[in-house]
Structure 1
């Protein structure tokens, strides 16, 4: 296997199924050695009978690639540290981290239990932070030792993190947090030769099967399955390769054959009187500014 990821060592979290599996296979097809992380849990975060990580490793090896499985909890310091350690032990280096692991516990906010909030924050947000922390520490150590580093991190956000999603207050908040962390990490890690970007993918997986229920039917012969997870992976592989040199602190939407560079919060219409407003004056000024501003995109699921 040769390609744009030839010789790179890549970690993909949550890689036993769906998007993560597609990313792991795509990296291997482009010549990468892959650490396939998956805890083997259900959609609600509860452990399954066995992890599918080994099955993905077997697929990669059957195609002539190199891969190892990692089944520990990457939202714990010990699990995240061992994840980076697994790459170094098996392959002697680490070049790319793809943070992908996640699950759902959807509720309307008035029905959302604290445990459901905490669980989603832990897996999505902390599950991105800790692998990033240990990978970044390794790359910083390499850079300070005078070794060339071309580190790549690809974080996984969502349209819910960009726009919000009704019934997914915990998930939307976690995915928005991942975007903020991506921007900070890109700024902090640039000096060490590390690029950090994020994707907001749309694809048919266990997590989204209800959202895309109308598109679950298999496509006809020769037709394009726009919701296949494999459609997202080429962008992820490019971002995780040397070919993406100079691209950092960016967010991309990826769905089917469409790739969009997302442009975040930017200053819009502004009024400055050079002195304190009264509440009535502030309201009048705000109303005038809103009349000149672009309307917001609707929240997913809003009527």
Structure 2
């Protein structure tokens, strides 16, 4: 499967990797992946349905939550076809063009999720620090603009990397180390000067994830300052409790993301299983856990989920 001769990018075919050393168990390994995808899709679709149908949730906080659910679904579904093609032994091949599109979508939606979490932090800041102006500041029109800006801000910076990849040639092994395509995985196979991709990629990561994480941190500094000025202990706890779900969402996105970056850059010679585990955690933890966290921690969403379950049970009983 390795290519001995140099080939241009547009004519290249890459080979995806499953779980090294566990190839004979791939069909069994696909079962928990199916379960996780089912949980993630069901949870995020439920959140979207509840926010859409419950008029009490037509508020900025829940609009941003709907954006988060859409982004989670897109980020997890993008690599799904190639993952199951490998695990079900259908095919390990992926053309360069498909690989680049997949890489673009995965990175775009991961950056978009970070931007949405920043928007949710600003939402919490306005709700706690300027509660009387909450509805007038975060209007539906502004929220729609924030969503569009988050997507464009995440996608446009990736275009120079895609253009650069099209001019590469690949004379090393064409075997990728994951079941889907990542930029850092593709460029290590190129027999070309990849310094631009490495440096520009680090700049994009620093500008997007770095600025988002800094914005979230600053928002919570102001939030904490306002909360500490609340006289009653119950009031302080109530204000902080409205941020708990968001803080958990931030952690479950950034921790696997940072872990994957560290593994790729500083643990290149570690076990392939570590790389595979971190890569799948990066894409599947957020979509699976975010709906669960918001269903547990947010009273309105929890009530909506219980109402949805009870109405379905009632419908099945009548049938």
Q: What TM-score do you get using the length of structure 1 for normalisation? A: 0.31
TM-score (normalizing by structure 2): 0.29
Which has the higher relative contact order, 1 or 2, with Cα contacts under 8 A spaced 6 or more apart?
Answer: 2
User: Higher strand fraction: Structure 1 or Structure 2?
Assistant: 1
Determine which structure has the larger helix proportion and give its number: 2
